[in-house]
Amino acid sequence: MAKGSKSIFFCQNCGHEEAKWLGQCPACGEWNSFVEEKIGTGISKGSTVSARTVRDAVPVSLSKVSASDDVRIETEIRELDRVLGGGIVPGSLVLVGGDPGIGKSTLLLQVCQRLAKMKKILYISGEESQTQIKLRANRMGEFAENLLLLCETNLGIIRAVIEKETPELVIIDSIQTMYSEEVTSAPGSVSQVRESTNVFMQLAKGLCIPIFIVGHVTKEGTVAGPRVLEHMVDTVLYFEGDRHASYRILRAVKNRFGSTNEIGVFEMRQEGLKEVENPSEYMLSGKPENASGSVVACSMEGTRPILIEIQALVCKSNFGMPRRTAAGCDYNRVNLLMAVLEKRIGLPLSNYDAYVNIAGGIRMNEPAIDLGIVMALVSSYKNRPIDEKVIVFGEVGLSGEVRAVNMPEQRVAEAKKLGFETCVLPCVSQKMVKEIKGIKIVGVTTISDAMDFI
């Protein structure tokens, strides 16, 4: 290495490098995101790659590489296994992000509790002492002897311990506390986070050890540090939900070994996170009786149908500018559907305030809940309650037509399982669910047809 160091400006949003400070990042367009950091001058021009390294780098034919889905490690937490795509893949690097206190460390400690019965696990903490981790573990129950604790932030020491102990699973809590002595910037900076993630990626791939990394999030809800951090890992999991509420939602926004459409639902209790096996029943608990502006709709999260309660409140506006609020669904989508109601049905909603909420705090953006939002708005406007045993779903177009949605059979089957007696759905989808008995199927082509029936 050449002597001395130089200053480089990094974009905190995407990790882009520049030799001087810029007001706007040319890569991602973010303003005032560059920070100055000291780095080494790098390898001298005369350096060469060793002969051993060249000898070890031998290309292999893809047809000769063996792979099997049976090598996944099941965590015995079915909601987590569902989000991961069936279990933990050996050699994978998983990033877990979420708000402070949402339950990231609690979930990973529960994973350690179940896997430590048969596998050697190393839990590395840079934020808590061994006593603090023990106090948290006492609330969960007994832990096997295979769970090893290490409270360290030095990347060199951590790498040596992992190579020496060769555990079968490693937990890093958190990546923002790790630092490398070869990087002169402070822990949590762009350079340190990127260097630490690169080291753990090499360890995971080289030793075939799955590594879970806990990442802090910014006020915007994204993982702190450069976006390149999410590009380097194999899977990115986000914990969603209000930290003061009892429910938690685990969602994969990136997964190289499975789908990103699946979610896991948990309930926070004193002894830790408990799986919610039937999210639909959980989301519909406490639904008001004979209340206008309330309707049950169905949304798909991957292969799982989830029944949700959509609430709407429409009241006369006292000002010239009506107020619109949407919680749990897209605000612009609500405005669009209200414009369709005013144009196609003739409801004078331009003089009314409108508030739309998805009960339970869950967020849904699927177009299949359009018909539910429309029916909730009409119910509140006319102050007429909708039958509690009726469920609706379907996409609404600008002409007021009700369009088809995917997987209607699973949606109707879930509604029947929870005791619903009538299902209002698009006519195009009605043909696919005729074989389901025990629930009345009503097909509609426009929102006018749905309003006439309901």
Alpha helix (H) residue ranges in 173-264: 190-207, 228-232
Distance of alpha carbon 179 from alpha carbon 202, whole angstroms: 16
Secondary structure string (H, E, C) spanning 338-355: HHHHHHHHCCCHHHEEEE
**Residue 452 assigned as binding residue:** no
Residue 73 DSSP class: B
Residue 148 bridge partners (DSSP)? 122
**Residue 191 assigned as binding residue:** no
**Residue 102 assigned as binding residue:** yes
Distance of alpha carbon 371 from alpha carbon 368, whole angstroms: 7
Which tokens in the block code for residue 397?
């177009």
Q: Of 237, 238, 279, 280, nearest to 258 (Cα)? A: 237
Distance of alpha carbon 364 from alpha carbon 355, whole angstroms: 16
Residue 365 DSSP class: -
Residue reference for tokens 């806990």: 214
The type of residue at 237 is L
C-alpha to C-alpha distances, 314 to 144, 289, 309, 333, nearest whole angstrom: 56, 18, 16, 16
Per DSSP bridges, beta strands 235-240 and 93-97 are parallel
The answer to whether residues 262 and 82 touch, using CB atoms and an 8 Å cutoff, is: yes
Grouping H, G, I as helix, E, B as strand and the rest as coil, residue 212 is: strand
The answer to whether residues 227 and 109 touch, using CB atoms and an 8 Å cutoff, is: no
The answer to whether residues 263 and 83 touch, using CB atoms and an 8 Å cutoff, is: yes
The answer to whether residues 212 and 94 touch, using CB atoms and an 8 Å cutoff, is: yes
Q: How far apart are the first and last CA of the chain?
A: 76
**Residue 100 assigned as binding residue:** yes
Residue 413 DSSP class: H
**Residue 101 assigned as binding residue:** yes
DSSP string, 160-183: HHHHHH--SEEEEE-GGG-B-TT-
The type of residue at 322 is P
**Residue 99 assigned as binding residue:** yes
Binding-site residues from annotation for ATP? 98-105
Binding-site residues from annotation? 98-105
